[in-house]
Amino acid sequence: MAFSPSLAIFVATVLLVKWLYKRTRSSSISGLPIPPGPPRLPVLGNYFDVPRDRPAQTYLQMGQRLGNSQCRPTFWHVDCRAGSDVICLKTMGTHIVVLNSLAAIDELLEKRSSIYSDRPYSLMLCDLVGLGWSTPMLPYGDEWKLSRKMYQHALGFDKQCQMIEQREARALLSRLLDSPDGFIGHVRLMTGAVMLGIAYGIDVQPKDDPLKHIAEEANRVAAVAANAGVYLVDVLPILKYVPSWMPGAKFKREAEYFRKWADALLRAPYEVVRKRMLEGGLSDCAASWLMDAFLVDGKDKPFTEHVIKGTVATMYMAGSDTTVSTLTTFFLAMVLHPEIQAFAQNELDQVLAGSRLPELHDQPLLPFITAIVKECLRWKPVLPLDFAHRLTEDDMYRGYYLPEGSICLANIWAVLHNEDVYPNPSIFNPQRFMRNGKLDPDVLDPAEAAFGFGRRICPGKFLAQDELWITVASILATLNITKAIDANGVEITPMTDDLPGLLSYPKPFRCTIRPRSETHASLVRETV
């Protein structure tokens, strides 16, 4: 092709116009104030203001205190009172923008998702711990897009996934009958079995399953390492070169331990499936579905296989601990609210007549069970603060300047405890979702916030809700959950406090679990 001076001039002109536009826009935007925040120290900024305990609640209170105090009326402001739903902290040169309302989240993370879908890079998690393959940690690019495409393909096998969920929910009932005191351990076994079955087609051994142990330990270390602000190496990357034996290098020793489990989760269960397929065995699971769909005729097979391994490993990690949290909340709510439990059981009895266990196709007939699941997601959201989004270019919102590179946090807890949407939000009340015996479509579904936002929304959202629903329905149809009794015969009322950490879990509590009747107990044993 011959060189064309006119074409070159045209291309250069276009590039120059784009550069001038971006520079002018950035300059005009940067003249605006950033959102309100606490007073900053020299150099450290708001480092000591970043909350380590109950951050979602603290950020909401921070926004309510700041509110109008730093909201300056300008030409750009439509309503100065709106300032409290967006706050900004600056620490070590990084802006942390917290979105405390659904309106702000919807406008930025949903409507402007093209520039709010990246992730901040964590040197600790990605480099040292080795979780860079995890889909939530991937930057917004080709690898992440391929992983999301794989998720959509795998979750298209919804019938197979639902069969596994229903099977494991019924196995849970049997365990609860045999040893009710270990209910949290049984729930954890069930959720692990569901996700190992869906992701890898692996049946979990009841005790001492090595693959389940790998997956649980990898999940634990990921949650520990993901706690924002714990590791200084994410602020001072040069610390990654410090030898692990040096004083103060505990993070390096922890990372070496963490990496062992992260690598094992990525490799071990995948190799089981791969070996089974090479030997001609059938493996009906996400790993095999993705191999068949993406690997057989793929161009870059090493890269594609790497993404498959990361996708299915993430599928397990994302779908196990989160479900444990919500089901633990369910047990706590039933202990504290026997009247809600009785109302739900009455609904179940009308549909099932005590002659069978519930199935997923019963959902339209059991709206109050759905309302209980919704309220569990709302009352104690698993992830009070959504995983951080990273802004990839300068932006403006309500007259505020949001700089490129800002870390944006959606406050899920604030959305789901908004008194204007959910009156008396601290009270567990599934009836808030009901109207005239049916689900009220005018009440915000907590799932719209609980599973994330924009292009980073959890792809397993509907799979998770199905698992929660069939488990809650199965338990309430057959078992009674009541307060435990102490040595003096006095009922023990559990506290509603949560454990600290990235994911929210109720503090450990005791309860009594018994079959509703011998007929219900027989129904469980006959079905499993």
Residues of each annotated binding site for heme: 458
Q: Where are the beta strands (DSSP E) in 365-416?
A: 389-390, 395-397, 400-402, 407-410
| Residues 105, 453 contacting (CB under 8 angstroms) | yes
Nearest of 518, 524, 449 to residue 105 by alpha carbon = 449
Contacting residues for 299 by C-beta, under 8 A, at least 6 apart: none
501: phi then psi, degrees, rounded to nearest 5: 145, 175
Show the tokens assigned to 473. Answer: 């329905």
Q: How far from 185 is each of 177, 218, 332, 473, CA to CA, in Å?
A: 13, 17, 15, 19
| Residues 483, 511 contacting (CB under 8 angstroms) | yes
CA 257 centroid distance within chain? 24
Contacting residues for 509 by C-beta, under 8 A, at least 6 apart: 332, 335, 492, 494, 495
Show the tokens assigned to 210. Answer: 């090595």
434 burial type by CB count under 10 A (0-12 exposed, 13-18 middle, 19+ buried): middle
Question: Which residues contribute to the annotated binding site?
Answer: 458
Total number of residues shown for the chain: 528
Contacting residues for 468 by C-beta, under 8 A, at least 6 apart: 323, 326, 327, 330, 373, 376, 377
Q: What is the DSSP secondary structure assignment for residue 404, as one 8-state letter?
A: T
